Amino acid sequence: MRGAFFRGLMDLAVRDDRIYLLVGDLGFGVAEPFLQKFPERFLNVGVAEQNMTGLATGIALTGKVVFTYSIANFPILRCLEQVRNDVCYHKANVKIVSIGGGYSYGALGMSHHATEDLAILRTLPQMTVVAPGDPVEAEAATGAVAGHEGPCYLRLGRAGEAVVHRAQVRFQIGKAIRVREGDAGTLISTGAMLRTTVDVADVLRQRGIALRVLSMHTIKPLDTEAVLAAALETRAIVTIEEHSVSGGLGGAVAECLAESGKLVIPFKRLGIPTGFSAPPGTQEYLRELCGLSPAGILQELEPLLERVLAPSFSTPIA
Amino acid sequence: MTETERVRANTSRRSSELLANRLRRRVLAMICRAKSSHIGSVFSTIDLLAVLYDKILRVDPSCPQWSDRDRFILSKGHGCAGLYAALAERGFFPQSWLEEFFANGGRLAGHATHWGVPGVEASTGSLGHGLSIASGIALAGKRDKLSYRVFAMLSDGECDEGSTWEAALFAPHHRLDNLVSIIDYNKIQSFGRVDEVLKLDPLAAKWESFGWAVREIDGHDHGQIEQALQTVPLAEGKPTCIIANTVKGKGVSFMEDQVLWHYRCPDTNEQRLAFAELERS
């Protein structure tokens, strides 16, 4: 996704001279082409995320579109008050990009696990929260956030994520992408869990169970229409995110379902249990530990699907 | 003093000094009406604000978003009563708005807010934000080849914040000589004297060592303030830091140099005495 982001950003910067890129002394090996081509619109601010975010606000207040770039929690939590007071309160055209969502940097330890970011960022007024599902979405999302007036948070994976979309996608902020059709149930994925989610759906399809898969690349504003349609048209909803089960995609979908007032549907949140991960490990290892491997997800889904697909089960729609 | 004597005295005074006196009286009225405080922290900045808005800032109240305007950012957002009063004096909005300071549903919040308030460039209130925002605006000005300057006013307590020093490192590195940091060095912060809470001295040497061109002035001497601000940048290629030695509560004798007036709102008798002193001065 990192490569896709920089491709998207370079394209934008060629067409739009308002685009600035600020990095917090990170991006070695990937940010250089931008620096070489647009030195007047690039800044390495040093290891100083608070200043980076304030600077970005100031530059944006003069009419620019400013991307800030760092990894994991650094561009958001280290400078959360600058994000809230400076970027959000001023409705500044700042796009915060974090590489390393979830356990992308798993083996580097707790400091590099971005596992509460979606929950925290989606509570901030004015903030749009986007977590694309694969490199194709990531490149499209880069253009979409640049064109979206106001503060945005773009949560990316790292590098080498598998491509899910074989063609260009119609990417619209706040509109989920339907990746698989089906009515047995709906899997809603955000961020880099999309590949795993689609793989799980494909395994079940081979067993004759057709699941709908939504790539919910925008956490805020949430595509509530897609969630409610899934609730009406399919028999269960399961959210899948490489993020704490508290307050992220699962939380947002749960709020939407509960407040709809009309729908009662079997619902489950799959994600990272609250608490820090104890051992270090690769992304794959840590995902497996918290049940986010294909096998782990299948294990959660099977009893749920068995129940809702039983002839005796009737969807309790009030 | 007779009326004739007063008029004669006033004509020999600088317009910024007369403005400063009006601002202090307006601020006193605002704070008493609002039953708020921070009056000591506002009064230490008033002479600086008066010179800035009377003599220095190239701003146009009829076009507050003019792209080449000078920017003033009050990083010490708790001192906003003085800023609001100065903006009203310059005609950015009607004086009547000052009555809405702290009021339910009013426009003027108790820390500087730009929402719906022409002339306020940035909303502040949490310390350590303003110099970064100012540096961003200054950098964009350089890269856009515009001639505006950016002035940020910081409190001394605000120099405890690490983010202030992140910005202090940044601006000289990028040769932002269109940036001026004015430190309201009244030597009292929330819990006591700066020297007792967290020493800043030698403050000028710190800013100099970070690469700023520094001048220390008496922050209540309008001649010194104007002379310093008229000559920025003090050195080509360097941001300017004006360390303004000030007195908390300046202008009302019983408020001067007292930590209490960070918090206290004058009671009826104190209001009367304070207004009387300001009327005489």
Nearest Cα of chain B lies from the Cα of A50 at a distance, in angstroms, of: 6
**pLDDT tens digits for range A166-222:** 988 999 999 999 999 999 999 999 999 999 999 999 999 999 999 999 999 999 999
Q: Nearest by CB to B139, from A48, A53, A59: name it.
A: A59
pLDDT for res B230: 97
pLDDT for res A318: 42
Q: Nearest by CB to B167, from A54, A56, A61: name it.
A: A54
> Residue A198, SS3?
helix
**pLDDT tens digits for range B66-106:** 999 999 999 999 999 999 999 999 999 999 999 999 999 99
Contact A61 B143 (CB under 8 A): no
Instruction: Tell me the average pLDDT across A287-298.
Output: 97
Residues 6+ apart with CB under 8 A from A18: A63, A64, A65
Size of the A and B interface in Cβ pairs below 8 Å:
89
**pLDDT tens digits for range A33-46:** 999 999 999 999 99
Task: Report the percentage of chain A scoring pLDDT > 70.
Answer: 98
Select from A225, A219, A60, A216 the least CA-distant residue to A137. A216
Q: Nearest by CB to A58, from B67, B134, B143: name it.
A: B134
The verdict on whether omega for the bond into residue B172 sits within 30 degrees of 0, i.e. cis, is no
Distances (CA, A) of A170 to A1, A143, B39, B108: 17, 12, 56, 44
Q: Domain spanning A2-156 has what CATH number?
A: 3.40.50.970
d(CA A56, CA B68): 19
Q: pLDDT at residue A99 above 50?
A: yes
Nearest Cα of chain A lies from the Cα of B67 at a distance, in angstroms, of: 8
Q: Nearest by CB to A58, from B124, B132, B143: name it.
A: B132
- DSSP letter string over chain B? --HHHHHHHHHTS-HHHHHHHHHHHHHHHHHHHHT---HHHHHTTHHHHHHIIIII----TTSTT-TT--EEEESSGGGHHHHHHHHHHTTSS-GGGGGGTT-TT-S--SS---TT-TT--S---STT-HHHHHHHHHHHHHHTT----EEEEEESGGGGSHHHHHHHHHHHHTT-TTEEEEEEE-SEETTEEHHHHS---SHHHHHHHHT-EEEEEETT-HHHHHHHHHT-SSSTTS-EEEEEE--TTTTSGGGTT-GGGGTPPP-HHHHHHHHHHHHH-
Token pair, residue B75, equals 């990083």
pLDDT band at A275 (very low <50, low <70, confident <90, very high): confident
**pLDDT tens digits for range B179-191:** 999 999 999 999 9
d(CA A156, CA A138): 7
Contacts of A86 in chain B (CB under 8 A): 122, 129, 132-133
- Cross-strand pairs, A237: A186, A267
Strand order in the sheet with A128-130: A42-44, A19-23, A65-71, A94-99, A152-156, A128-130, A218-220
Residues from A contacting B (CB-CB < 8 Å) are 40-41, 43, 45-46, 48, 50-51, 53-64, 81-82, 85-86, 89-90
**pLDDT tens digits for range B130-172:** 999 999 999 999 999 999 999 999 999 999 999 999 999 999 9
Domain B3-280 falls in which CATH fold? Rossmann fold (3.40.50)
Contact B136 A46 (CB under 8 A): no
Q: Name the CATH code of domain A177-309 (choices 3.90.660.10, 3.40.50.1820, 3.40.50.720, 3.40.50.920).
A: 3.40.50.920
pLDDT for res B10: 65
Residues of chain A within CATH 3.40.50.920 domain(s) are 177-309
Query: Does the global pTM surpass 0.90?
Result: yes
**pLDDT tens digits for range A107-125:** 999 999 999 999 999 999 9
HSE, side-chain direction, 13 A CA sphere, residue B33: 17
What per-residue string of b and e applies to B173-201 under the rule 16 or more CB within 10 Å gives b? ebbbbbbbbbbbbbbbbeeeebeeeeebe
**pLDDT tens digits for range B6-55:** 666 666 789 999 999 999 999 999 999 999 989 999 999 999 999 999 99
Residues of chain A within CATH 3.40.50.970 domain(s) are 2-156
pLDDT for res A263: 77
What interface predicted TM-score (ipTM) does this complex get? 0.95
Contact B167 A51 (CB under 8 A): yes
Contact B122 A46 (CB under 8 A): no
Contact A40 B143 (CB under 8 A): yes
Instruction: Tell me the average pLDDT across A89-111.
Output: 96
Return the H-helix or E-strand segment holding A99. strand A94-99
Residues from B contacting A (CB-CB < 8 Å) are 67, 114, 121-126, 128-129, 131-141, 143-144, 162-163, 166-167, 169-170, 174
